[in-house]
Structure 1
Amino acid sequence: MTIIAAFPHGKRDRSALHLSAFIARSYDEDLRIVSVVPEAGRGSIPSGSDLQFAAWAKKRSRQAVCEAEAAAAQICPDLTTVAVAVENRSRAKGLLAEAAAHRATMIVLGSGTEGTRGRIRVSATSDRLLHSSPVPVALAPKGFVAPERLTRVTCSFRPDLEARAVLAATAEFAHATCGRLRIATFGVSGRTVPPESVEEESARRSLVAELRTAQVEAIDSLDGAEHGEAAAGEPIAEAVGIGKDWKAALAAIEWESGELLVVGSSSEGRRSRVFLGTNAAKIIRHAPVPVVVMPWLK
């Protein structure tokens, strides 16, 4: 099986390659580095004919492949990689076509050079994939440079039946990569309340207790030791992050440098496709670690 890494040729962003190598190394999978270039005969430049444009596109493809190969030699020389350039009018469609042709297990994208360092920026391409991809989509924060291997996988959990399938898929992913799994629920408490308010603190404790109970029930629903425990028999960890906004909620729990956050799709989208809900989009924007978005499977 193959992991697709989107490579933005001609730009300095290498976060997608770092993240895809990070996951491929832990998953023991091959890495296909894909640059999408303008489709010959369909683009337009002010003073060029179709033949000139085709020659320019081929030259750009060769440059993109050379650039990707050089980056791979520097970032992940230990992995089996193939660098290719594909022609398509749409970067998202080109990546989806490559994923389908090579039975990819995941598509990995970076956050570009704009935005806040250490946070994920959703581009037009990643937004399209986050609403249509049939395989998981991984997003790297700006400037992401991965440690050698995955240390833990955290599942963003909602206390409803739809989330059980996401937890099961995350458990399988953790079992195949690093063996350590954590289940975390995030919530926003609303307007800021003074710390001396006993009622607010009591309500918060009650909410956290309810969420932890739901987490325990979800963990108990996982079948067998393969899902219920990590490698070496380590039990599944639990966490609840509550804050005045989503940024504070994500910051309320601790994170490891070699961690991934897994978020599930909304059931409002098509079955077996990624479709990002409003809360999931906010979690992604404030996540301090790379995020993997799983397709919705009923």
Structure 2
Amino acid sequence: MKILVGLSADQGGQEALALGAMLARSCKASLFACTVTPDTWGHPSPARVDGEYGSFLARHTVTVQAEAKAALPADVTAEFMAVSAPSAREGLIRAASDIGADCLVLGSAREAPLGYFGEGGVTTELLRSAHLPIAVAPHGYSAGPGTLVRRLSAAYSGSSSAPGIVARSAALAREYTVPLRLVTFVVRDKQMYPTGAGYDAEQFVSNVLREQARDAQTALLADQKGLSAEIADGPTWKAAFESLSWEEGELLVLGSSKLGPILRVFLGSNARKIVHNAPVPCLILPRAEE
């Protein structure tokens, strides 16, 4: 397995590297870290502006990668690379294709609350179009020395496509040699104010959804061995996440929306809410053929 880290110059790049190192350590994968710089002209202008700008970018890349190498855990090795491209998205996609990466790791935008993931311009573009799994690190993420993936949790909706996500998550759990937990979210985040039906009717609907989720989980557990299942329930996404326990070294796996193209990553509304509210790193899988 090959893991590619998008190494930006900010703290998000360091957080992505920490997550990439933890993933690589856990499954004995090869780790690559890529810095993308803007394209410059292949020859200097009369004023030498392009040549000087290219030299500046080269020095900047050396500095960023030297800091990253110093921060890399002693038990993890990485190959550092730099590519020039019109955009960071294009550069990372090209680098992933060149090395045959199995996963791309990205950091969070600085505007996100500490401990949670927020999308920046590059991550938003990649979460709409990447052809490989993307792991995202929450703002402020770090991993202690020797930290390993200890459990996978798969976001399980009970829809027709959900068994495919479970099967792919189970394969990952075997790769990491860790247990797999199914998590179904029952969230009432659009019910801050009573509708004409009243709170009693809304509570009835949420109870029905909870029972349907439990029935779907029970049916799946009967066919799959070595799984556990829980329901994350709450009036908001934050409360739903807080209703469950989350371990150090946990990774939350979710699939792309059916609205997106096959073999591409695409976050639907609920998936985006899950990623933004998760207190642990997330791994988003591209939509597979059904």
Letter of the structure 2 residue corresponding to residue 34 of structure 1: C
2:126 aligns with 129
The correspondence of residues 155-234 of structure 1 with structure 2, limited to 5 A, is 155-189=154-188, 190-191=190-191, 204-222=206-224, 228-229=225-226
1:247 aligns with 2:211: no
1:100 aligns with 97
Higher mean C-alpha deviation, range 18-27 or range 211-220: 211-220
1:266 aligns with 2:257: yes
Distance 1:84 1:122 in 2: 24
Distance 1:78 1:119 in 2: 27
2:248 aligns with 257
Contact 2:4 2:101 in 1 (8 A): yes
1:38 aligns with 38
Higher mean C-alpha deviation, range 53-62 or range 138-147: 53-62
Residue among 261, 281, 289 paired with 2:272: 281
Q: Could you list the runs of 5+ residues in structure 2 that have no partner in the other structure? A: none
Cα distance change, pair 12–203 in 1 and its aligned pair in 2 (3 A): closer
Contact 2:110 2:118 in 1 (8 A): no
Distance 1:115 1:61 in 2: 25
Distance 1:268 1:48 in 2: 48
Higher mean C-alpha deviation, range 57-66 or range 113-122: 57-66
SS in structure 1 opposite 2:288? Answer: coil
Contact 2:186 2:206 in 1 (8 A): no
Cα distance change, pair 112–178 in 1 and its aligned pair in 2 (3 A): farther
Contact 1:62 1:85 in 2 (8 A): no
1:225 aligns with none
Contact 1:30 1:79 in 2 (8 A): no
Q: Which digits, 9 at most, give the CA deviation of each residue in 1:7-36, with x for residues without a partner?
A: 112x23421111111111111101101111
* Structure 2 length-normalised TM: 0.88
SS in structure 2 opposite 1:165? Answer: helix
Seq. identity, %: 31
SS in structure 1 opposite 2:3? Answer: strand
CA apart distance, 1:242? 2.1
1:143 aligns with 2:140: yes
CA apart distance, 1:124? 0.9
Q: Which digits, 9 at most, give the CA deviation of each residue in 1:212-250, with x for residues without a partner?
A: 11122234445xxxxx22xxxxxx111111222222222
1:118 aligns with 115
Cα distance change, pair 193–270 in 1 and its aligned pair in 2 (3 A): closer
Letter of the structure 2 residue corresponding to residue 215 of structure 1: Q
Distance 2:202 2:162 in 1: 28
Cα distance change, pair 240–56 in 1 and its aligned pair in 2 (3 A): same
CA apart distance, 1:115? 2.2
SS in structure 2 opposite 1:239? Answer: strand
Cα distance change, pair 273–63 in 1 and its aligned pair in 2 (3 A): same
Contact 2:108 2:137 in 1 (8 A): yes
Cα distance change, pair 154–2 in 1 and its aligned pair in 2 (3 A): same
Distance 2:222 2:100 in 1: 32
Distance 2:259 2:202 in 1: 33
Letter of the structure 1 residue corresponding to residue 181 of structure 2: R
Letter of the structure 1 residue corresponding to residue 6 of structure 2: A
1:153 aligns with 152
RMSD of aligned C-alpha atoms? Answer: 2.3
Cα distance change, pair 291–66 in 1 and its aligned pair in 2 (3 A): same
Q: Which digits, 9 at most, give the CA deviation of each residue in 1:27-64, with x for residues without a partner?
A: 1101101111122228xx9x862222222232223223
1:25 aligns with 25
